[in-house]
Structure 1
């Protein structure tokens, strides 16, 4: 039985990778993308699907209840894959209100609309509301702490992670209160193609290509678990097709790396694959900057529940995934050059205050 998916935030980084992945693996399904096209949304991410009869794009806001109601009815939606979110910690520190509006109010609007639609359709058991979230809701780990599990208490430390925690709680509550078939996934740091250049890996790659400083927060000892976005998409595929309503599944890459070690590896790979770099070796561009306010020390995900119950496991190592990712940025300068606008440059200067200049 084919699905009719409404993918919110489907022009963003993870959302667009998911849409492209889904069409490659489930071409019979229909996908409707709803995206507000804020700074991180890009129609070019979906250019290969524009003429596909099973694809349509709607420019709109998830907080627009009437729009969502109409889409669910008109397109006969059976599944919502909810990616739409403000997602950058630094921006949440500067302007937290947008994060509450999109991540909390937007998720509430979608849940309410889907609940009424699902109830009107006599609660079909195959319908799903997939809420895609983050490991940051769990807070920070010390160096010897075990990784986050689905039972780790929530302890968000930034306006971003707090807003995602709020949306997670809403999705969980709608299952327990209304039996709405929600599933929550909490993933570790993603990387791959179509990633907006404010995020660590594309920022380092692009700055190396431009010969600009590579800003590393604090002492660079913060640790993240890195998940290649294609592995994330395959996990979401498994969750949507085999996962149980009301459950939470952690998705991790089993790749814990210190920020400074990751930047050094990026430099090493870029020195190998990128021709005519302005400065080489590129690690000469590494510049330590003032640490982020409330910077979490370590994230690590235990995805054994997903692996044991649904049979998924990540395929990419940090190095194999990085090589594919960095090669994509080297090969697609036309994609990222247009994003380096005056507004982006202003934001960049606001965030990165150099200590050792």
Structure 2
């Protein structure tokens, strides 16, 4: 009796197929555990009740999608290594397609979140470069999820891992658009957070912390997308590309939750500098702008020493006052950070 067509006399060695599969499952499971911890921290912290409904809903959607993805991955692994133990097959089961689609949808949701942060940073910028980059992020994020959905449908139709090379075109588009989108998000966050800097030292420290977080987030996701693309093209008919593909969605999940959870840590780091004494503002050089930028992102409240009157307004009001303490609220709405800084107005 001849062996079924899907049995694998011609499969590559196991270390480049099921071996790579198990390694990627191991790495993904570790990252998922880190994501679960980040999720618990988010729900237990003050960020959950203070965030808008859209952010809370997005967090729930990402966590559910990533939980489904890792569940489908385990189900597929159990099918191959337990139920079909000793029978090496290249057949693609429905759970393989389901976990792939869950991964792409979860990554898309996270990209939309960071794209919205870039949008808030650039929406008032007159630069055409800002507009082109902002819309480019949304376009590449959309193309990535569309190509991923097409890839999922195609792999389900061909029904065999031995024919994955037939999906090279759509897989390359998916990986390339993911890589480009992540690069643009990281680049624009760094550029426009840098432009938020001015003459206030504490504000600059906060911006530097946010830039550092953006670079860390972007490096990991870009690296995963790059590994997926390179290994898929360089080593066809193997599963080595799983090393970039499988953990990528968990990296997105962790980057999202870490960004939300680190807001309080950034506030505390900047606020800890307040106990080291007054940091005077060069009032004469500020006028209505700081570093050539509008003072609209900053709110100033001056408290008189001999009266209880409060003055809300711009620098021109405070500039003419003497012997006043100034409370500066440094806000970065896009990244969700607010730091209160006290200044002593020069006499």
TM-score norm. by structure 1 comes to 0.23
Higher helix share: 2
TM-score norm. by structure 2 comes to 0.23
Higher strand share: 1
